[in-house]
Structure 1
Amino acid sequence: MLITTTEAVAGHQVDRVLGQVFGVTVRSRGFGGNLTAAFRSLAGGEIHEYTEMLEDARKAAIDRMVANAQAMGANAVIMMRFDSSELGQSMSEVVAYGTAVVIHKANA
């Protein structure tokens, strides 16, 4: 599955636009991870526990978006974007979304 943040895919032509597709996940660090992160935040710098959690959340959101696009018959997702928000004080929502399309290699 080709995933791109651009509207056009170089060397390809869009045959059909199948519609909006998305994948969503909500993640939370456990008590231990939150406690460790709280101590790290006192010193400043990157909070590795949250970075890892958000990277995993983005991967899960993309995987779900791809599964939804495949179910629609797509072989690519164009104009892919991420959105995120906080739910409560300890949960993060990540959404990957884009346009599911069928593309083919353009003749040179």
Structure 2
Amino acid sequence: MLILTTPTIEGKKINEYLGLVTGDSLLGANMYKDMFSGVRDVVGGRTSKYEEELTNARKLALESMQKKAEEKGANAIIGTRVAYHNLGGTMGNTIMVTVFGTAVSYQK
């Protein structure tokens, strides 16, 4: 399935717009990762563990969105966006990754 950030599929005719599709994934940070990240921030360098976790969370959100698009009969998603939300408070240090776009059927 094509997943594009563009509003069209260049050189292809969109037959039907099937509606909004979304996918979400939560990333919960724990105390040990937070401490390690803090040490890395002080001494410099990248916190690769968090980067890996964010990559996995984004992948899960994209897979969820794709599944919903397939259930609508789509073969592409256009106008895709990714958003990150910090859910502080009672959720602790939790990050939600949300992806959304328009499911479409296009002529291959």
TM-score (norm 1): 0.90
**1:103 alignment partner in structure 2:** 106
Instruction: State the Cα distance separating 1:31 from its structure 2 match.
Output: 2.7
**2:96 alignment partner in structure 1:** 93
Instruction: State the Cα distance separating 1:42 from its structure 2 match.
Output: 1.1
Moved more, 25-34 or 9-18: 25-34
Deviations 1:16-56 (A, max 9, x none): 00000000011112332222112111123322121111111
TM-score (norm 2): 0.90
Q: Distance in 2 between matches of 1:32 and 1:65?
A: 31
Instruction: State the Cα distance separating 1:11 from its structure 2 match.
Output: 2.1
2:39 paired with 1:31: no
Where in structure 1 do 4 or more consecutive aligned residues deviate above 6 Å? none
Q: Distance in 1 between matches of 2:20 and 2:61?
A: 14
Moved more, 32-41 or 59-68: 32-41
Unaligned runs of 5+ in 2: none
Q: Distance in 2 between matches of 1:104 and 1:3?
A: 15
Moved more, 59-68 or 47-56: 47-56
Q: Distance in 2 between matches of 1:47 and 1:7?
A: 34
Q: Distance in 2 between matches of 1:93 and 1:49?
A: 17
Q: Distance in 2 between matches of 1:35 and 1:95?
A: 26
Q: Distance in 2 between matches of 1:44 and 1:81?
A: 30
- Residue 107 of structure 2 aligns to a residue in which SS? strand
Equivalent position amino acid for 2:14 in 1: V
Q: Distance in 1 between matches of 2:29 and 2:59?
A: 16
Equivalent position amino acid for 2:11 in 1: G
Q: Distance in 2 between matches of 1:87 and 1:46?
A: 23
Unaligned runs of 5+ in 1: none
